Amino acid sequence: MVDLLSAFSLLFILGLSISLVISGWGIFNPLQPDTNNSLAVAAPGKEFVLRIGHQKFDPLTLVKAKGALETRLKPLGVTSVQWIEFPSGPPMLEALNAGSIDFARTGDTPPVVAQAVGISLVYVGSSGPKDQSSAVLVKRGSPIKTIADLKGKKVAFAKGSSANYLIVKILESGKLALSDIEPVYLAPADARAAFEQGSIDAWVIWDPFYAAAQVQSEARVVRNSSGLVNNRDFYLATKAFADQHADVIKQIRAETQTVASWASKNPTQVAALLSPILKLDPGILEIVTKRRNYGFEPVTPQIVAEQQAIADTFYNLKLIPKAIKIADAVHPSAIALNAR
């Protein structure tokens, strides 16, 4: 089996340009994180453009579509919001490290990996569980019926993403290890193409790609994430930004919660709103909406423990270079929410 740690390090060093929004971690030395990020953070009281990283369909995509965040932030000196889309969490957090964005939303695994290689980030919020929103998929006619059938097969997923942790847990549940499969590290769009062409045997993926594959490619679920991972969202920033702009993060949180409350009651309207933006059928988006959580909530001790379990698992598998303590990266403002 390929030396995963070496491959993982190369992914960080040799990733493609994030400005092209293509899978990869970008060009930087992961063991020498950018120590000048704080210089790029607008000082409190000064006008600035807020740069938010998001993925194809996440809570912040919906916040963007509703269009009210900018109004909330203007009194705080935010002249405009620049929305930057990424294919997955890893390249987004490289952008955070490089000072190219101020605020990000990823799944559970990318911040664990980023912390382990020295990226400067802090958790400023989380979400409720969305444990129905990821799965291992195969083609409808595939001979793969059970987790045991994945042994020796080519399984695609984005390295360092939530899908990376999910496949580890799925394999464990079937008494297999990561070494029992042939990992194929692909970003979602590339994995979808490989899946449809039959060059991989299975695909570990999250929504909306998961729902789209079910509807458009007649993909069959071997195992979803229910009962294995909570698959939460995490909201992240640099420590300098979180320290200097707690008021901005508070308003992002408030607007996200407002939108989340609306979305939970109006899945059909959510689908109609996002369909022309994402160029996905409303029926697909309604499936996605009904099985995900859009909230921006506190980082509780339970959530810290969940993240620590991911970190410990990845360290034991030599997928990250050192052991880490998740609590060290939780910003005080995220914990303080619990008392409110």
How sure is the predictor about 6, in pLDDT bands with cuts at 50, 70 and 90? very low
Superfamily assignment of 134-224 in CATH? Answer: Periplasmic binding protein-like II (3.40.190.10)
- Return the pLDDT at 43: 65
Closest CA to 127 of 60, 193, 189: 60
The burial class, CB within 10 Å (0-12 / 13-18 / 19+), for 72 is middle
Cα–Cα distance between 105 and 58 in angstroms, integer? 8
- Return the pLDDT at 25: 31
Cα–Cα distance between 286 and 275 in angstroms, integer? 10
Fold assignment, 4-130+232-339: D-Maltodextrin-Binding Protein; domain 2 (3.40.190)
pTM of the predicted model over 0.85: no
- When the pLDDT of each residue in the chain is averaged and rounded to a whole number, the result is 87
Instruction: Please state, for a pLDDT cut of 90, what percent of the chain lies above it.
Output: 78
Which residue has 């160029």 as its token pair? Answer: 279
pLDDT tens for 134-168 read: 999 999 999 999 999 999 999 999 998 899 999 99
In this structure, which amino acid lies at residue 251? Q
The values of phi and psi at residue 187, to 5°, are -70, 160
Cα–Cα distance between 340 and 337 in angstroms, integer? 5
Strands 219-224 and 78-86: unpaired
Average pLDDT estimate for 216-245 = 95
3-state SS record for the chain: CCCHHHHHHHHHHHCCCHHHCCCCCCCCCCCCCCCCHHHHCCCCCCCEEEEEEEECCCHHHHHHHHCCHHHHHHHHCEEEEEEEEECCHHHHHHHHHHCCCCEEEECCHHHHHHHHCCCCCEEEEECCCCCCCEEEEEECCCCCCCHHHHCCCEEEECCCCHHHHHHHHHHHHCCCCHHHCEEEECCHHHHHHHHHHCCCCEEEEECCHHHHHHHHCCEEEEEECCCCCCCCCEEEECHHHHHHCHHHHHHHHHHHHHHHHHHHHCHHHHHHHHHHHHCCCHHHHHHHHHCCCCCCECCCHHHHHHHHHHHHHHHHCCCCCCCCCHHHHECHHHHHHHHC
Cα–Cα distance between 168 and 171 in angstroms, integer? 5
Cα–Cα distance between 292 and 256 in angstroms, integer? 14
> Which part of the chain has CATH 3.40.190.10?
4-130+232-339, 134-224
pLDDT tens for 93-114 read: 999 999 999 999 999 999 999 9
Q: Which residues, 6 or more positions from 262, have their beta carbon under 8 angstroms from its beta carbon? A: 66
- Return the pLDDT at 27: 26
How sure is the predictor about 40, in pLDDT bands with cuts at 50, 70 and 90? low
Which residue has 């993926």 as its token pair? Answer: 205
Q: Please state whether the peptide bond connecting residue 208 to the residue before it is cis, i.e. omega within 30 degrees of 0.
A: yes
Cα–Cα distance between 85 and 21 in angstroms, integer? 7
